[in-house]
Amino acid sequence: MSGAHPLRVGIAGIGAVGGSVLKALQTMPQFKVAGVVGETVPVAMETLDRLGESHHLAMEIGELAECSDVVVEAAPADAFLSIARPALARARTLVVLSAAGLLDVYDSVTALLAQQQQGRLILASGAIGGLDVVKAAASGAINACRLVTIKPAAALASAPWVTDHGIDLANLDGRLLVFSGTAREASQAFPANANVAATLALAGPGPERVAVEIWADPVLDRNVHEIRIDGDFGEMSVIVRGRPEPGNPRTSRLAAASVLAVLRDLTSHIRFGT
């Protein structure tokens, strides 16, 4: 695609990730920002103002899908289908960050893609490392896949699992195991924190076969993800200690960078990795 007209990129969700992607795209001539979608049009306009980006257009998702070649989804997990549906119905490329949102409605999305036959969905690797190996490993048998996530306590405090169970994360005096279960359970209990678990599940052995632990740490200033996978290919263990985005302690900076890597791949004749 390089050398062609700029690729029109629409951004659905302009929080920590969407804002970073928006800023970065201005320096990349192969892309043109088609517009942005927020919780509502006035909220998106306010956000653009605050970011000093009010020259961009805020619009509804249907309009964004219409005028974009690629839609970047960077909104809360529960908004996932409201963004995916219009984008895929218009056969756009949808670049997804809310893996937990995708996991919840995976069957509806695959049905939509099968019906449409032209749209495509690319799940960005987000805050994770080693997804190339997990994908390749899924060609053979995977015996075990385990994820240990450790986040600053404040990044987990508003998760449904924490509030429903009355877990007090404000006064920890050491690291606390907050959750242990499958990737499917993690993505329901921590929709804003279990994207790595959902990504591993979708690319690898499935949501019931990824074992997840989530820990809260009172002093940590990184989002840590440790992945261990064992299969026909051999074994891999990877640890990523991601710096958080300034605008959202739950989110690693790597998430926006992974979206930019996907977009660069879409416009390049050369691709590295799987």
269 in active site: no
- Applying the rule CB under 6 A, the residues between 153 and 212 that interact with ligand NAD are 192, 195-196, 199
In the block, residue with structure tokens 């075990």: 144
Q: Give the sheet arrangement for strand 142-152, strand by strand.
A: 176-182, 211-217, 142-152, 223-231, 234-242
Length of the chain: 274
Q: How far is the CB of 3 from ligand NAD (least distance, A)?
A: 31
- Applying the rule CB under 6 A, the residues between 100 and 159 that interact with ligand NAD are 126-128
Closer residue to ligand NAD in complex, CB, 228/233: 228
Q: How many CB atoms lie within 10 A of CB 114?
A: 8
Closer residue to ligand NAD in complex, CB, 30/199: 199
Q: How far is the CB of 120 from ligand NAD (least distance, A)?
A: 18
Which residues make Cβ contacts (< 8 Å) with residue 146, sequence separation at least 6?
210, 211, 212, 213, 227, 228, 229
Give yes or no for residue 18 binding ligand NAD (CB under 6 A): yes
Q: Alpha-carbon distance 112 to 179, whole Å?
A: 33
Which residues make Cβ contacts (< 8 Å) with residue 200, sequence separation at least 6?
128, 131, 134, 145, 147, 183, 210, 227
Candidate ranges 8-16, 25-33, 102-110, 162-170; the one touching ligand NAD (CB under 6 A)? 8-16
Q: How far is the CB of 200 from ligand NAD (least distance, A)?
A: 10
Q: Are 7 and 266 in contact (CB under 8 A)?
A: yes
Give yes or no for residue 248 binding ligand NAD (CB under 6 A): yes
Closer residue to ligand NAD in complex, CB, 57/233: 57
Task: Note the residues at the interface with ligand NAD (CB under 6 A).
Answer: 12-18, 37-39, 43, 74-77, 79, 82, 97-99, 126-128, 192, 195-196, 199, 247-248, 251-252, 255
Q: Which residues are catalytic?
A: 225
